[in-house]
Amino acid sequence: MADCVFCKIVAKQIPASVVYEDEYTLAFMDLGQVNPGHVLVALKAHAENVYALDDAQAAAVFRSVARVSRAIRAAFAPQGLSVYQANGKAAGQTVFHLHVHLVPRFEGDGMNLSWPVKNPPREKLEEHAAKLRLHFQGE
Ligand SMILES: [Zn+2]
């Protein structure tokens, strides 16, 4: 989809702090941070929502979610991690390209993390992304 911001990130037309990439998915830290270490895992192909995934894509998305979650745990040592995927306008989505939010939770976070999100400077995102990329160098 030509005007999809996620498709532009996947195509490297928009710079992003990429954490992990494989055949099916791209994980990056841009488009806002609820907490430090917050990563979005997106399918490389344009798929509007979870209903649009075939089994191979679904498996690939969750594999990336698990891999990146382990990296977040190793790099940021959060108390917990929340995984969010929301579909459609009713869920408050403004981007209609399937993506999963991995949000580290730290002591003092309430049940409801505050959205909208903060947008740290790119240097901070790159510093955090580099910490996560380190985790994948040995794999
Ligand atoms: Zn897209």
As a whole number of Å, the end-to-end CA separation of the chain is 33
- Residue 82's H or E segment, with its range, is strand 80-84
Selected catalytic residue, list 99, 101, 128, 135: 99
- Residue 105's H or E segment, with its range, is strand 99-105
Q: How confident is the model at residue 86 (pLDDT cuts 50, 70, 90)?
A: confident
If one compares 15 and 91, the residue with the highest pLDDT of the two is 15
Q: What is the mean pLDDT of residues 8-14?
A: 94
Residue 63 alpha carbon to ligand 1 centre in Å = 20
Residue 99 alpha carbon to ligand 1 centre in Å = 10
Single-letter code of the amino acid located at 55: D
Q: Is 91 helix (H, G, I), strand (E, B) or coil?
A: helix
Q: How far is residue 136's CA from residue 125's CA, in Å, rounded to a whole number?
A: 17
Percentage of the chain modeled with pLDDT above 90 = 69
Q: Name every residue whose Cβ is closer than 8 Å to that of residue 106 and which is 6 or more positions away in sequence.
A: 35, 78, 79
Residue 1 alpha carbon to ligand 1 centre in Å = 5
Residue 3 alpha carbon to ligand 1 centre in Å = 8
Instruction: Count the Cβ atoms, other than its own, within 10 Å of residue 2.
Output: 6
Residue in the structure block whose two tokens are 């505050």: 114
Point out the least confidently predicted range of 67-76, 87-96, 104-113. 87-96
Number of H helices, E strands in the chain: 3, 5
Residue 106 alpha carbon to ligand 1 centre in Å = 31
Q: How confident is the model at residue 1 (pLDDT cuts 50, 70, 90)?
A: low
Name beta bridge partners: 39: 102
Name beta bridge partners: 100: 41
Q: Indicate whether 139 pLDDT > 70.
A: no
Catalytic site residue 99?
A: yes
Highest average pLDDT, of 59-63, 111-115, 116-120, comes from 59-63
